């Protein structure tokens, strides 16, 4: 019963086959091979527009490098207080941007609102040399709480950002999960809604170490290739990362895997909500379930061998906030087993 994170799941067999398929032969490195060219063409096809794509190894690098071309060192990037860039990246965004400030904003269910960003902007007046200047807006899709922004919400936030001279970044570590939940196209959830640059993640959804920075706004690309190299994320054998994306997109594998994990989370939610003692902390919209439960129930789960994350971080609290994450590799039997433990 492994529900700690979708990073615990290995690579999908189809992606391993795709890596093996690009192993034979000799090719130029550093994204100069035909596999990378095909991969970039696939991104353009999926997003229905011209894009610039750069491969990196981690979501942290993808986010931090993307932000580095959006804002000057004296700029501020506005993000939700629970965003990965603010909580879980050990200062990497500040490091890669050479000092940009992250302005953390509160928001229900892990989401930003125009009102919240507007209030935060009052602390960063334009033209005042004593203050950091508005530099960019970062949205997590899906959020750290597994919730999603609607297309209209993304559009409203990006329009607001643009009106204040800021570009919009999307942290898409669980991009596929959000996409299938919304039922829209990749283009509708990104550039058509005003997103300038996307951190596109595949690692949590069946890949090995496959992340990409995707630019829709070509004016932002600038010196990114040099930043990628200087940051240690220009792969010599880049075809092995590109090959993963080819396998990921083939026959809509990425959407099938994400739909599977979302469906299992929905099934887990439905089962828990039939039982006393469990309360949802926020809507279940993708592959994560956040539920509050007593310490006694937490102990029961742990003694039964269930692995999950205690989100609240305070073992002294009588009620605990627990995160349960379903992956593409989670089975129906594991969900049934956990629900059986929950029933006692």
First to last CA, the chain: 15
Residue with tokens 């000092």: 99
DSSP string, 125-151: -TT-TTSPEEEEEEEESS-TTS----H
Same fold, 12-252 and 254-343: no
Beta bridge partners of 2: 307
Residue 313 confidence (pLDDT): 67
Residue 168 confidence (pLDDT): 98
Helix, strand, coil percentages, rounded to 5, for the chain: 45, 15, 40
Domain locations along the chain: 12-252, 254-343
Pair 74, 94: CB distance under 8 Å: no
Q: Is 211 exposed, middle or buried (0-12, 13-18, 19+ CB in 10 A)?
A: buried
The whole-angstrom distance between residue 35's C-alpha and the CA centroid of its chain comes to 25
Candidates 3.90.1150.10, 3.30.70.20, 3.90.1170.50, 3.40.50.10780; correct CATH number of 254-343? Answer: 3.90.1150.10
Return the axis-axis angle of helices 253-273 and 332-343, rounded to nearest 10°: 10
CATH topology of domain 12-252: 3.40.640
Q: Which two tokens stand for residue 156?
A: 């409203």
What is the rounded distance in angstroms from the CA atom of residue 266 to the CA atom of residue 287? 8
Residue 320 confidence (pLDDT): 93
Return the axis-axis angle of helices 114-121 and 151-163, rounded to nearest 10°: 20
Each residue's pLDDT, cut to its tens digit, for the chain (344 residues) gives 899 999 999 999 999 999 999 998 888 889 999 999 999 999 999 999 999 999 999 999 999 999 999 999 999 999 999 999 999 999 999 999 999 999 999 999 999 999 999 999 999 999 999 999 999 999 999 999 999 999 999 999 999 999 999 999 999 999 999 999 999 999 999 999 999 999 999 999 999 999 999 999 999 999 999 999 999 999 999 999 999 999 999 999 999 999 999 999 999 999 999 999 999 999 999 999 999 999 999 999 999 999 999 997 677 788 999 999 999 999 999 999 999 999 98
Backbone angles phi, psi at 153, to 5 degrees: -65, -40
Rg from Cα positions in the chain:
20
């Amino acid at each position: 019963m492994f529900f700690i994170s979708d990073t615990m799941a290995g690579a999908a067999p189809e992606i391993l086959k795709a890596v093996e398929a690009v192993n034979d032969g000799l090719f130029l490195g550093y994204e100069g091979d035909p596999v990378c060219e095909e991969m970039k063409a696939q991104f353009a096809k999926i997003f229905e527009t011209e894009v610039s794509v750069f491969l990196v190894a981690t979501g942290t690098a993808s986010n931090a490098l993307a932000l580095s071309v959006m804002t000057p060192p004296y700029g501020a990037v506005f993000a939700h207080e629970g965003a990965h860039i603010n909580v879980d990246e050990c200062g990497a965004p500040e490091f890669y941007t050479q000092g940009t400030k992250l302005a953390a904003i509160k928001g229900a269910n892990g989401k930003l609102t125009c009102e919240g960003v507007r209030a935060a902007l009052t602390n960063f007046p334009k033209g005042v040399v004593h203050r950091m200047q508005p530099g960019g807006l970062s949205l997590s899709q899906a959020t750290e709480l597994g919730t999603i922004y609607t297309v209209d919400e993304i559009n409203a936030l990006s329009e607001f950002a643009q009106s204040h001279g800021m570009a919009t970044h999307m942290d898409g570590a669980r991009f596929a999960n959000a996409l299938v939940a919304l039922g829209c196209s990749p283009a509708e959830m990104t550039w058509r809604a005003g997103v300038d640059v996307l951190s596109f993640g595949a690692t949590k959804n069946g890949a090995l170490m496959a992340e990409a920075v995707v630019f829709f706004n070509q004016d932002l690309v600038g010196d990114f290739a040099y930043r990628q190299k200087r940051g240690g994320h220009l792969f010599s054998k880049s075809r092995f990362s590109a090959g993963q994306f080819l396998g990921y997109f083939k026959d809509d594998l990425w959407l099938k895997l994400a739909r599977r994990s979302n469906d299992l989370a929905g099934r887990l939610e439905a089962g828990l909500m039939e039982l006393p003692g469990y309360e949802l902390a926020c809507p279940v919209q993708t592959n994560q379930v956040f539920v509050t439960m007593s310490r006694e129930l937490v102990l029961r789960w742990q003694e039964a061998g269930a692995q999950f994350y205690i989100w609240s971080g305070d073992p002294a609290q009588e009620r605990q906030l627990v995160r349960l994450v379903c992956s593409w590799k989670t089975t129906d039997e594991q969900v049934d087993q956990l629900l059986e433990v929950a029933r006692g």
